A and B are shown apart, each in its own frame.
Chain A
Amino acid sequence: MRNPGGLFRGRILVPVAMVAILAEAVVAWVAASPGETYTLPRYEVVDTTRVAREAVTLREIIQRCVEGEKTKLSGHRDMTYSFTVRSLVLWKKKKEIEDDVFLAYEDSTGFGRTLSLEKSVRHFKKKGDGWVEDAGDRDRDSPIRVTADDEDSENLFTRLPFFLEEQQEFDFELLDRTLEEDHVIFKVGFRPRSDFKPLPSGTVYVDADRYRIIHEEFTFDRNPFPLLVKNVKRISRHWKELPGGEWVVSKILMDVSLRGGWTGVMPEAVKVGVFFDDYVFDPGYDARRFGPR
C-alpha cells in the first residue's frame, strides 16, 4: 500500500465530512425555527482606513446648486399645473378669505401662459371671540374672470432662485451638514451684504445627491416696504419630488404684518398660501384649454 494515509483519509474523512455538513444543516434548520436560538454575523472593528479628497467648498456648493436647479425638470419639454392662492386678510374686526384658481402652461423655451380662472371671496365679522361669515358679501367680490399672462420671467424651466441669480448681493454660509438616509443635506444660509438692501435673508437645504434645493425659508432683516409693511414674519417655499423624479414647488407660504392696522381701515396682516397641484409633463400646448398661442 503506497499511500495508506491517503486511503485512510479518503475512506474516513469523506463520510465524516458528509456527516458534519448534515449536522450543520440540521442545526441551521433548528436555529431558523421561531423562538429558538439562531446566529447572526458578528462584526468586528479592524484597522482604520484613511481616505482623503478635496473638500467641497461653499462656493462649489453654490455653483453646483446653479446646475442642480436646472435639472429639476430635466428631460421634459413642457408642463401644465394648477395653483390656488388663498389670501387671508385680517383687520381689527373683520377678515377676508380670498381664493384664486390659476392654470399654467410653461415650456423649456421660456414661454409661459397663466390663466386666472376663478376667484372667490368670503367676508367675516368678529363677534365675541369668533368669526361670523357675512354671507351677503360673498358674491359681491367674486367676479368670474379669465385673464392670461404671457410673461415668461417666472418660468419654472428657465428661472433660478433669486439668491442664485444675484449671488453678488449675498453672503453665504454653510450652516450645517447632515446625513438623511443615504443623502447628505447641506444647510446653507445667506444674507444681504448690505444692511440697507431690502433683500431677504434665508436658509436653504440642498440635497448633495444632485445639488437640488429641497426647502427654502426666508425672512427680511430690512423691511422691503417700510411705508406699508410693518414686517415680514416668514416666507417659505416647499418642494416635493414627484414619482417621475421631477422636483416641483408644492407650496409657498407668507406672513406679513402691515402698518396702519390700528385705524381699522387698513388690514393688520396678510397671510398668503399658494398651493401647486396637477403637474402634467409634456402634454404639449393645448389650445382648447389655454386659448390660441
Chain B
Amino acid sequence: MSAPRERARARRFGWAFGGGTAAGAACFALLAGVSPAHGAVSDPSPRPVPVKPVPVDSSSAPPGDAPPQPDLLHRLQEEDDAFFPAELLEGNPSLRDSTLARLDSLGYTAYRREAGTRSGPGALHFGPAARIMDFNRAEGLVAGLGVSGSLAGRHSPRIHLEGAYAGGSKKFRHLEALVLPLVADPDLRLVARASYADRVVPFGASRPAANAVRAFLGGADDRDYLRRRGGSAGVRLEWEGLALTLDYEAARESAPGLHEDFSLFGVLDQPLTAATGGLDRAAVVGVDVGRGAWRGWARHRVAGGALGGDFAYNRTDLELSGRRYLGRQELTLDLTAVHTAGRPPVQRTADLGGLGSVRGFDRRTRLGETALGARFEVHVPYDVLAASGVPVVRDLHLQFVPFADGGRVWNGASDAWLLAPGLGVQYYLGPFERVSYLRLDAAVPLGPDRPEDLRLYLRFARGLF
C-alpha cells in the first residue's frame, strides 16, 4: 500500500502515524522503546512542568473535553463489518439460545436421544477404504468401504476396519487395526496397537507419493509389488516430538504373480526381480523425530533366528528430510540410508534408482548391502512467467524446481555413484497433501551407466509443508 493511501487510511482510523506531531511520535517511541526508523530512541519532546497558575476565562473549552472517539479495536471491527452483508452479521442468536436452553434442560444423553442421532462419541463412522484403496499394476483398481469406531474419550480403544475388492485379481482385500491408548496425557502418549491385513503393497526405494498415478501412467509393473498377508502387534510411545515404537510382525510375503495390463503408456520393459516368497517374522524398533521443519526416522528390523520364519536378516533404515529458507529460496533435502546384513529377500535389499529415489535411473537399478541416497531441490520463489508479461503464459503460475539426486550402493554389482541433476516444473492444485502439485520432472542422468540422456516424469508432488 502506498504511503499516501496508508496515511489516508490512518486518518480515516483517526490515527496520526508518521504525519502526527513530534510529541506524539516521541510518546510512541518512549513507550514502545522504538524509534520510527528502528534506531535508538532519543526523545526531543518537551516535558510539561507546572509553573504558575494563570486565570482562564470560563468560556474557554477545558482541555480533554473533546467528544470521545471509538477506540482502535472498534474502529477496525466496524470497518471489517462494513465489508459484509448485514444478514451475515446478524447471525442467529435466537437459535443458539433456544438450542442451549434445550440442552441444559435435557442434558446430553436425553438431547441426543431426542435428536435421534447415532453419531457422536461411541458411534461408528463409515467412509471409503482409504488405507487400502489403490490402483496398482498387480491388482488393478482396489476399492471398498471402511468403518471406524470408538467409545467416548481419548482413553477408549479405537478400531478400524476396511474391506475392498480388487478388480484385477478378483480377490477380497482387507485391513483391521486396533489402537488401545494406555496413557493419554498431553505430554505423554502410550498406545498398544495391533493390525492384520491382506493386501498388495509397493516395495523398494522408489515409492512415489501417489502410487496409483505411477501405475496408471505406466511407471510400475507387477514386480514393484508385494503381496503381504499377516499382522503386527506392538506399542508406540510419543513424547515431546519424539516417538518410539516396538513391534512384532509376522506375514507371508509373495510376488503377486498377476499383471494388470491397463496403463496409459503400456508396460514397462525393465528387467526386475520379483519379490521372494516366504514367511517373514521380525521385530522392529523405530524412532521418529520431528523438530520444526525437520523430520527424521529410523527403523531397525531383525528377522529370523529365534523369531523363526523363512528369512534371516537385519535391515536398518535411516531417513532425514527437512526444509530451510535461504532468503526467499526454499531448499529441501531428503537423505536416506539403508544397511542390510544376513540374507535379506529381494524386497528387503538395499536399492537405489527410480522416481522416488534417484531420478533419471531405472527403479532398483542398483541392489546391494548398503545404500545411500540424497535428493536436493530448490523451490524458486519468483513467478518468472508472471513477470514476463506474456499473455496466457503469465497466468500459468508455474513454479520451477531445479533438483539434484545422487546415491551409491556398496557391496552390490557396481559401486559407481548415481548422479542426476534436473529441472521440475510444478502447478499448484490445492491443499491435497500428497497430490498438492502436478509436477513434470526432467532428469539428466550422468555417468556411463545412464539408461538414457533425458528422462521425463509426470507425477503428483507433496505440499505444502
Q: Which residues of A contact B (CB under 8 A)?
A: 34-46, 48-58, 82, 84, 86, 88, 97, 99, 101, 103, 109-111, 115, 117-118, 120, 144-148, 150, 158, 166, 168-169, 171, 174-182, 184-186, 193-199, 205, 208, 214-215, 217, 222, 224-228, 234, 236, 238-240, 251, 253, 255, 271-273, 275, 277-278, 287-293
With contacts A37-B57, A176-B10, A197-B464 taken as known, whether A48 is within 8 angstroms of B154 at the C-beta atoms is: no
Determine whether the beta carbon of A185 is less than 8 Å from that of B55: no
B310 at interface by CB-CB < 8 Å: no
B96 partner, pick from A101, A194, A225, A292, beta carbons under 8 A: A101
Q: Which one of B69-77, B221-229, B251-259, B447-455 contacts A?
A: B69-77
Does B388 sit at the interface, judged by CB under 8 A? no
Give Cα distance in the complex from A180 to B121, angstroms.
47
> Is the beta-carbon distance between A86 and B153 smaller than 8 angstroms?
no
| Cβ of B103 under 8 Å from chain A | yes
| Chain B residue contacts of A111, Cβ below 8 A | 154, 186
Within the complex, which residue of B88, B112, B383 is in contact with A88, where a contact is CB–CB below 8 Å?
B88
Task: Verify B58–A36 contact, CB threshold 8 A.
Answer: yes
Known A45-B48, A55-B34, A118-B95; judge A38-B56 contact (CB<8 A).
yes
User: Which listed residue, A35, A37, A215, touches B55 by the CB 8 Å rule?
Assistant: A37
Q: Which of B29-57 contact A (CB under 8 A)?
A: 30-36, 38-57
> Beta-carbon contacts of B18-32 to A below 8 Å, as 1s and 0s?
100000100110111
Asked whether, in the complex, the Cβ of A291 is within 8 Å of the Cβ of B40, the reply is: no
Contact across chains for A51 and B30 when beta carbons are under 8 A apart: yes
Q: Is the C-beta of B382 less than 8 angstroms from some C-beta in chain A?
A: yes
Residues from chain B with a CB closer than 8 A to the CB of A226 are 397, 428-430
Whether a CB of chain A sits under 8 angstroms from the CB of B265 is no
Contact check, B17 vs A194: say whether CB atoms are below 8 A apart: no
**Whole-angstrom distance between the Cβ of A231 and the nearest chain B Cβ:** 13
Minimum CB–CB distance for B425 against chain A, Å: 11
Interface size of B by CB at 8 A reads 96
Provide the bound-state CA to CA distance between A236 and B84, in Å: 11
Q: List 7 additional A-B contacts (Cβ < 8 Å) besides A86-B92, A194-B328, A255-B84.
A: A42-B50, A55-B38, A144-B116, A145-B115, A168-B324, A224-B430, A234-B83
Whether B95 pairs with A181 at a CB distance below 8 angstroms is: no
Query: By the criterion CB–CB under 8 Å, are B121 and A148 in contact?
Result: yes
Contacts of B51 on A, CB cut-off 8 Å? 41-44
B381 at the interface (CB under 8 A from A): yes
Bound CA–CA A156/B117 (angstroms): 28
CB nearest to B387 among chain A residues:
A195
Question: CB-CB < 8 A to B104: which residues of A?
Answer: 289
Cβ–Cβ contact B99 & A146, under 8 A: no
Cβ-defined partner of A196 (8 Å) among B35, B38, B428:
B428
B430 to A, closest residue via Cβ: A225
Residue of B33, B42, B46, B154 near A56 (CB, 8 A) is B33
Instruction: Flag whether B399 is at the interface (Cβ < 8 A).
Output: yes
Please report the C-alpha to C-alpha distance between residue A86 and residue B117 in the assembled complex, in whole angstroms: 22
A82 touches B100 (CB 8 A): yes
Q: Are B42 and A84 in contact, with the CB atoms below 8 A?
A: no
CB-defined A-B contacts under 8 Å, sample of 22: A51-B43, A58-B38, A84-B91, A88-B87, A101-B96, A117-B100, A118-B95, A118-B99, A146-B111, A148-B120, A150-B152, A176-B15, A178-B15, A178-B16, A194-B379, A195-B383, A205-B76, A208-B31, A215-B77, A234-B83, A238-B80, A289-B107
Query: Contact check: which of B31, B76, B92, B115 meets A99 at CB < 8 Å?
Result: B92
CB proximity to A under 8 Å, residues B190-227: none
B383: which A residues are within 8 A, CB to CB?
Answer: 195-196
Among the listed A39, A255, A288, which residue makes an inter-chain contact with B108, where contact means beta carbons less than 8 Å apart?
A288
List, in ascending order, chain B residues with CB within 8 A of A186's CB: 32
Task: Say yes or no: A147 contacts B120, CB within 8 Å.
Answer: yes
- Shortest Cβ distance from residue A108 to the other chain B in the assembled complex, whole angstroms: 9
B330: CB under 8 A from chain A?
Answer: yes
Given contacts A53-B40, A292-B152, contact A177 B34 (CB under 8 A): yes
The smallest C-beta distance from A18 to any residue of chain B, in angstroms, reads 22
Residues of B within 8 A of A53 (CB): 33, 40-41
Cβ-defined contact, B32 with A177, below 8 A:
yes
Question: From B30, which residue of chain A is reached at the shortest CB distance?
Answer: A51
Chain A residues whose C-beta falls within 8 Å of the C-beta of B45 in the assembled complex:
48
**Does B121 contact A291, Cβ atoms closer than 8 Å?**
yes
Please tell me if the beta carbons of B95 and A184 are within 8 angstroms of each other in the complex. no
Do residues A148 and B54 form an inter-chain contact, with CB atoms below 8 A? no
The digit string for B409-441, where 1 denotes a CB below 8 A from any CB of A, is: 000000000000000000011110000000000
CB contact under 8 A between A148 and B152, given known A48-B44, A101-B100: yes
Bound Cα distance A41, B56 (Å): 10
Chain A residues with Cβ below 8 Å from B382 are: 195
How far in angstroms is the closest Cβ of chain A from B74? 10
Residues of B within 8 A of A199 (CB): 464
Is the CB of B89 closer than 8 A to any CB of chain A?
A: yes
* Residues from chain B with Cβ under 8 Å of A228 in the complex: 430
* CB–CB B430/A227 < 8 A: yes
Residues of A within 8 A of B389 (CB): none
In the complex, A255→B39 CA distance in Å?
40
Are B73 and A215 touching (Cβ within 8 A)? yes
Complex contact A88–B328 (CB within 8 A): no
Q: A42-B52, A198-B428 are in contact. Are A179 and B28 (CB under 8 A)?
A: yes
Chain B residues with CB under 8 A of A97 = 87
Interface-centre pick from B28, B92, B117, B397 (highest chain A CB count, 10 A): B92
With known contacts A84-B92, A196-B379, A42–B54 Cβ distance under 8 A: yes
A70 to B120, CA, bound (A): 31
**Closest partner residue, chain B, to A158 (CB atom):** B186
Pick from A225, A239, A255, A291 the residue with the most CB of B within 10 Å.
Answer: A291
Q: Which residues of B contact A194 (CB under 8 A)?
A: 328, 330, 379, 381
Q: Are B32 and A289 in contact (CB under 8 A)?
A: no
Residues A101 and B428 in contact, CB atoms below 8 Å apart: no
